[in-house]
A and B are shown apart, each in its own frame.
Chain A
């Protein structure tokens, strides 16, 4: 299968059963999985928030997606999703300390 352009979306799919992962990708993926399990514990150990059930369903959905895409070798598109979903979180360590007044 020819890949016209390395940045095109087709690169995500070409040569599909990507059974071998780069070590960092594998680490990132499994760390994400662990993180969401941890968050599932965290939201039940803290005082429940307003969006508790939303968070809960989000974590369950994330875990489902991660496990199924990892098992079925859809890790390339999965990594894209991870990157998109995580990008904002870079700003989170800055935000709560600065703007805690706004959220609560």
Chain B
């Protein structure tokens, strides 16, 4: 929505806020939760009494800790991927800034042959549509 209004700064800001909130909640927050379980779960009266809804054994807690650690690993991988996207964007924006001075000569000509080959490969109207949207995206960037 913001992108179509050409508010790229707002777009940048949203992404940064997203990354920061991810770092605080999914990375640090989850570590906090795991640490809390590790340190405080011994407050629970020990015992395995399903009739009373009590399910506390060492093993239960360990299984939960392992599961949450796996979850943490998964979110860490995703966070890394999101950071790589951010890095790529930063580099891409830098490249575009230097490129946009001679905008009309350089970049569109570079893009055109690539578009044609993909169109040939697809060999149809569908390809053309893809090309149009692709070109649009590239120019926006």
Contacts and interface: CB of A to CB of B under 8 A. Distances in A.
Interface stretch (B16-24, B104-112, B118-126): B16-24
A35 B44 CA distance: 30
A97 B40 CA distance: 42
Interface residues of B, number: 46
Contacts of B10: 98
A54 B3 contact: no
B14 A91 contact: yes
Contacts of A30: none
Interface in B1-35: 1-3, 10-11, 14-15, 17-18, 21-22, 25-26, 29-30, 33
A101 interface: yes
Contacts of A64: 67
A11 to B, nearest CB: 10
Tell me the dominant secondary structure on chain A's binding face: helix
Interface string B29-59: 1100100110111011100000011111000
A98 B2 contact: yes
A77 B78 contact: no
A16 B45 contact: yes
Interface in A46-81: 51, 54, 57-58, 61-62, 64-65, 68-69, 71-74, 77, 80-81
- Give 6 closest A-B pairs by Cβ, nearest first: A72-B55, A84-B29, A17-B53, A19-B53, A98-B2, A16-B44
Interface of B: 1-3, 10-11, 14-15, 17-18, 21-22, 25-26, 29-30, 33, 36-37, 39-41, 43-45, 52-56, 60, 63-64, 67-68, 70-71, 74-75, 77-78, 81, 85, 89, 137, 140-141
